[in-house]
Amino acid sequence: MSYIKSIATALPDYQVSQEEVLTILARARGAELSARLRQILGNSGIDRRYLAKPAEYYLQGRGWQERSAIYAQTGMALAKNASEKALAQASLKARDIDAIIFVSTTGTVTPSIPSALIKELGFRENVQTIPVFGYGCAGGLLGLRLANQLATQLATQLTVAANDGHNILMIALELCSLSYDYSQFDKKNMIATSLFADGCAAAIVSGKEDQGYSPIFRAFDQKTWPNSRDMMGWDIGETGFDLVLARDIPTFVSRDFAPFCDAFLEREGLSRKQMGEPACHPGGGRVVDALDDYFGDDVGNIDTTRNVLRHHGNMSSPTILFILKDLLAGNPTKPIVMTALGPGFTAAVGILDPERAMHG
């Protein structure tokens, strides 16, 4: 298995508080929000978020062309920022990277953003670029799983010594705010507007021998439940993506995800009591509560997950990397279970051992 050399994050320039979001929603509707609706939207577990554009921008109509242009420009800047910081933290140059995985579900551009980064940052011309679309909120964790596979498997087209391992740059970028559609004021779209945010994270995953002690991946797993496609995803609307989001995801966590995660830990010879604080993609406030109930007193708390949600909102795929970065900064000593739920409906899980070394 491979290990994490660095994790870096990047945020857009504009910040909005949750109270400001509620005010904007009332202006967009042309009427005050009911007390009940304000309570529902206010119970997201979020205090503030970062957006690609000023809050006033989202009161205007916009089509696919304008959204795509913003995604390309802002997305490129965030991906470059996060990548530069991840390389510096890992003490690597761009030419040391063998493949770039780019995970995103809130926009797309061709040629891809990682292709554009080759010249911008000085990657080798034969670096592999692997854009991945459609993982949604599970994308950060599934991207790490793919990076682990590429870092440790022999790839004959890469000009490195056989079986020497590879350095992989994994970028997760989402501009969820570009999917906001103020032409629709149903409850689902208002909940999405009060929940989702923009952000980017980059991680360097390596299969090369480590001279120090770096967090190493132990295992990953994934499960997609049949007849569950309507729980989360996108429909293609006239002006952009229209969110598909079921209300009963917290119930799904306790009924379906919990036994899947328990079975995964058991296969790895672990129990919840042996784990440190987990890194969980938060979803929203009610999903975090369901995850907290599942882990319970066995792990103590999931405060890092709550804090990232509170200060950044649900950024979709990058969110778990923000959480993992903060957890690792605390020098944990116990294994970390990583969890995420995404379209499919899919659960992704993984285990990171913070004290194991590649040569130990």
Q: Per residue in 264-306, pLDDT tens?
A: 999 999 999 999 999 999 988 888 998 999 998 888 789 999 9
pLDDT above 80 for 208: yes
Which of the four pLDDT bands, split at 50, 70 and 90, describes residue 162? very low
CATH topology agreement for domains 3-206 and 216-353: yes
Fold of the CATH domain 3-206 = Peroxisomal Thiolase; Chain A, domain 1 (3.40.47)
Fold of the CATH domain 216-353 = Peroxisomal Thiolase; Chain A, domain 1 (3.40.47)
Give the pLDDT of residue 10. Answer: 98
pLDDT above 90 for 234: no
The mean pLDDT of 34-54, rounded to a whole number, is 83
Which of the four pLDDT bands, split at 50, 70 and 90, describes residue 69? very high
Helices (H), the chain: 18-29, 35-42, 64-89, 113-121, 139-152, 187-193, 249-252, 258-267, 285-299, 303-312, 319-329
pLDDT above 50 for 81: yes
The mean pLDDT of 94-101, rounded to a whole number, is 97
Give the pLDDT of residue 212. Answer: 67
Q: Per residue in 115-139, pLDDT tens?
A: 999 999 999 999 999 999 989 899 9
The chain-wide mean pLDDT, for the chain, equals 86
Domain range annotation of the chain: 3-206, 216-353
| C-alpha to C-alpha distance for 134 and 144, rounded to whole angstroms | 15
Environment class of 2 (CB within 10 Å of its CB; exposed 0-12, middle 13-18, buried 19+): buried
**To 10 degrees, what angle do helices 35-42 and 18-29 make?**
140
Q: Higher pLDDT residue, 209 or 17? A: 17
pLDDT above 50 for 155: no
Give the pLDDT of residue 65. Answer: 84
Which of the four pLDDT bands, split at 50, 70 and 90, describes residue 34? confident
